[in-house]
């Protein structure tokens, strides 16, 4: 049985700009297996978001190959194989929370009764039951981002791609959401690709951490996490945690020394 979900091989992406070509991604090879939680970390400009966008077929690579569930990103997108969570919640102000979460279901043509059933299910997953009739502006930033995660989960794709989803939130809310995200991942057994620039966040969440560096965007280190599946928040004070964080920091520093 083949349990590879995402497979990139020699992937490169070059943007042509007025100042000459920008190598957003250069020769990226990576394999992600089913049920993994993979974080991409690196300074801005390292291509971590671009890599995620290539997986989602929002950008096209200029060289190399990538498959999602064994098919091209475009075919995967057309099969609605992944949910994508953006940096901002991006909820529609004219739709209620329930209406926002149902939006992808409406687009995909689910029957009304099924929409309502799925809505209740994902509201429970992100702990927003009772808020479906509220409008986005009536909710805090953290709740809005949870609603946007619920929206990405609503159509039950096996892959969840998250682009710095908690980047705009304060530390306390972020801790809380990280904890919830881990529980959600354990419950749903989805494959998650998670872009972040926070070392503690990456180490706390991931089964594998991909360290990237800029100019050209490339992978400098891939770290397997030795942390147990069960992770209370105070695991972040344990020696194993600090050791992994240290290695991530070293990887980031090595990437930087290259170009300074």
- Is position 110 an interface residue for another protein (rule: CB under 8 A)? no
Q: Which of 99, 81, 106, 223 is nearest to 160 (CA)?
A: 81
Considering the rule CB under 8 A, would residue 140 count as an interface residue with another protein?
no
Among 16, 20, 44, 93, indicate the residue that binds another protein (CB under 8 A): 93
* 88 belongs to the binding site for another protein (CB under 8 A): yes
Of the residues 3, 31, 60, 107, which one makes contact with another protein according to CB under 8 A: 107
Minimum CB distance to another protein, residue 256 (Å): 29
Nearest approach, Cβ of 58 to another protein (angstroms)?
5
Among 74-82, 122-130, 193-201, 251-259, which window interacts with another protein (CB under 8 A)? 74-82
Pick from 19, 44, 94, 257 the residue near another protein by CB under 8 A. 94
Nearer to another protein, 167 or 200 (CB): 167
Alpha-carbon distance of 13 to 22, in angstroms, equals 8
Among 12, 39, 96, 206, binds another protein (CB under 8 A): 96
Stretch that binds another protein, among 37-45, 92-100, 172-180, 183-191 (CB under 8 A): 92-100
- The least CB distance from residue 146 to another protein, in Å, is 16
Q: Is the peptide bond before 216 cis (omega within 30 degrees of 0)?
A: yes
We find the least distance from the C-beta atom of residue 38 to another protein, in angstroms, to be 18
**Interacting residues of 28 by C-beta distance below 8 A, sequence separation 6+:** 8, 10, 11, 12, 47, 51, 64, 217, 218, 219
**DSSP secondary structure, the chain, as one string:** ---EEEEEEEEEEEEEETTEEEEEEEEEEEEEETT-EEEEE-STTSSHHHHHHHHTTSS--SEEEEEETTB-HHHHHHTT-EEEE-SS----TTS-HHHHHHHHHHHTT--HHHHHHHHHHHHHHTT-TT-TTS-GGGS-HHHHHHHHHHHHHTT--SEEEEESTTTTS-HHHHHHHHHHHHHHHHHH--EEEEEES-HHHHHHH-SEEEEEETTTTEEEEEEE--S-S---GGGGGSHHHHHHHHHHHHHHHHHHHTT-
Q: Give the count of residues interacting with another protein (CB under 8 A).
A: 26
84: contact with another protein by CB under 8 A: yes
CB nearer to another protein: pick between 88 and 222 = 88
- Exactly one of 23, 33, 34, 95 binds another protein (CB under 8 A); which one? 95
**Which residues in 28-57 contact another protein (CB under 8 A)?**
56-57
Interacting span for another protein (CB under 8 A) from 83-91, 112-120, 121-129, 174-182? 83-91
- List residues binding another protein (CB under 8 A): 56-58, 77-78, 80, 82-84, 86-88, 90, 92-96, 103-104, 106-108, 135, 137, 155
């Amino acid at each position: 049985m083949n349990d590879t979900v995402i497979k990139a091989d020699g992937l490169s992406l070059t943007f042509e700009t007025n100042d000459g070509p920008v190598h957003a991604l250069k020769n990226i090879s990576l394999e992600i297996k089913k049920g993994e939680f993979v974080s991409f970390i690196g300074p801005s400009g390292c291509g971590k978001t671009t890599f995620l966008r290539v997986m989602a077929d929002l950008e096209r690579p200029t060289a190399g190959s990538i498959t999602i569930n064994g098919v091209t990103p475009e075919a995967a997108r057309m099969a609605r194989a992944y949910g994508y969570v953006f940096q901002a919640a991006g909820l529609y102000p004219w739709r209620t929370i329930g209406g926002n979460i149902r939006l992808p279901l409406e687009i995909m043509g689910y029957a009304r009764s099924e929409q309502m059933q799925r809505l209740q299910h994902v509201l429970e997953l992100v702990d927003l039951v009772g808020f479906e009739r509220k409008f986005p502006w009536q909710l805090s930033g953290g709740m809005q981002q949870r609603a946007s995660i619920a929206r990405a989960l609503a159509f039950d794709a096996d892959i969840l791609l998250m682009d710095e989803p908690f980047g705009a939130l304060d530390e306390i809310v972020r801790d809380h959401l990280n904890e919830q995200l881990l529980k959600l991942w354990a419950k749903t057994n989805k494959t998650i690709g998670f872009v972040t620039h926070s070392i503690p966040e990456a180490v706390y969440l991931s089964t594998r951490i991909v360290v990237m560096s800029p100019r050209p965007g490339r992978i400098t280190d891939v770290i397997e996490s030795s942390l147990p599946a069960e992770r209370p928040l105070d695991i972040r004070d344990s020696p194993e945690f600090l050791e992994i964080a240290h290695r991530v920091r070293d990887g980031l520093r090595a990437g930087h020394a290259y170009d300074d």
